[in-house]
Chains A and B, each alone.
Chain A
Amino acid sequence: AQSVTQLGSHVSVSEGALVLLRCNYSSSVPPYLFWYVQYPNQGLQLLLKYTSAATLVKGINGFEAEFKKSETSFHLTKPSAHMSDAAEYFCAVTDDTGGFKTIFGAGTRLFVKA
């Protein structure tokens, strides 16, 4: 069965520091991968998606993620954290049986210290 593992339920960085949120997935076929962001009491918004084109994917708000098939990873990075980046981040993968289902990771809450 497919799964998505996000390492670290909480990550804390200083403002201006590198943000690295880790995501590993399992899939029997090349997957579609996504990162979403959720601010308190709101729905999820798409940050970026990988759909088998370029392995380095750029998203909104300065985030990017690199698909590494050999490591089955899709880690999210941002060179310099801003206070407004404080939120919960979810990695997700489409169901490898095809169709519409998406499998979400448990989420990582990012804290940004001044």
Chain B
Amino acid sequence: DGGITQSPKYLFRKEGQNVTLSCEQNLNHDAMYWYRQDPGQGLRLIYYSQIVNDFQKGDIAEGYSVSREKKESFPLTVTSAQKNPTAFYLCASSIEQGEAFFGQGTRLTVV
């Protein structure tokens, strides 16, 4: 089945640690996205990529980093510079002007 797979579903991070969230798609979509979701704030765009080896900052990129070495994969690293990382993270992919297909999300909690 085609789709987007995010892992892990739940992730716990200690203060000062970097953690990486995985996102893989087998839809052959060019574009991939990372969103952060906090209660009552909708979706906020962190980074997006329209093509392999290229990506752009979204609205809240500070404290995050990404890579796009393969079309299928778009991992997100939450660095220690992100002071309030506890949130629900959603990965998505799309074709140009098309609807976004979302993964099931990763819930990150700082402990």
- Assuming the contacts A41-B105, A43-B104, asked whether A34 and B42 have C-beta atoms less than 8 A apart, the reply is no
Instruction: Name the one of A36, A42, A101 contacting B105, with C-beta atoms under 8 angstroms.
Output: A42
Interface residues of B in 82-111 (CB under 8 A from A): 88, 90, 92, 94-97, 99-105, 107
Cβ of B30 < 8 Å from any Cβ of A? yes
* Count of interface residues, chain B, beta-carbon cutoff 8 Å: 26
Interface residues of A in 1-47 (CB under 8 A from B): 9, 32, 34, 36, 41-46
Q: Complex formed: what's the CA distance from A95 to B81 in Å?
A: 30
Q: Are the CB atoms of B42 and A106 closer together than 8 Å?
A: yes
Cβ of A75 < 8 Å from any Cβ of B? no
Q: Complex formed: what's the CA distance from A34 to B99 in Å?
A: 7
Q: C-beta contact mask, A45-70 vs B, less than 8 Å → 1, else 0?
A: 11001010000000000000000000
Q: How many A-B residue pairs have CB under 8 A?
A: 59
Q: Tell me the smallest distance from the CB of B59 to a CB of chain A, in Å.
A: 10
Q: Which residues of B contact A45 (CB under 8 A)?
A: 102
Give the bracket for the number of chain A residues in contact with chain B.
20 to 34
Q: Are the CB atoms of A106 and B96 closer together than 8 Å?
A: no
* Given A100-B31, A106-B41, A106-B42: 19 more A-B contacts, CB < 8 Å: A32-B97, A34-B99, A41-B88, A42-B104, A43-B4, A43-B90, A43-B104, A43-B105, A44-B92, A46-B100, A51-B97, A98-B96, A99-B96, A100-B30, A100-B48, A100-B96, A102-B100, A104-B42, A104-B43
Q: List 16 A-B contacts (CB under 8 A).
A: A32-B97, A41-B88, A41-B105, A42-B105, A43-B105, A44-B100, A45-B102, A49-B99, A92-B100, A99-B96, A100-B31, A100-B48, A101-B45, A101-B48, A105-B42, A107-B43
Which 7 residue pairs are nearest across A and B when measured between Cβ atoms? A43-B102, A100-B31, A106-B42, A44-B102, A104-B43, A107-B42, A46-B99
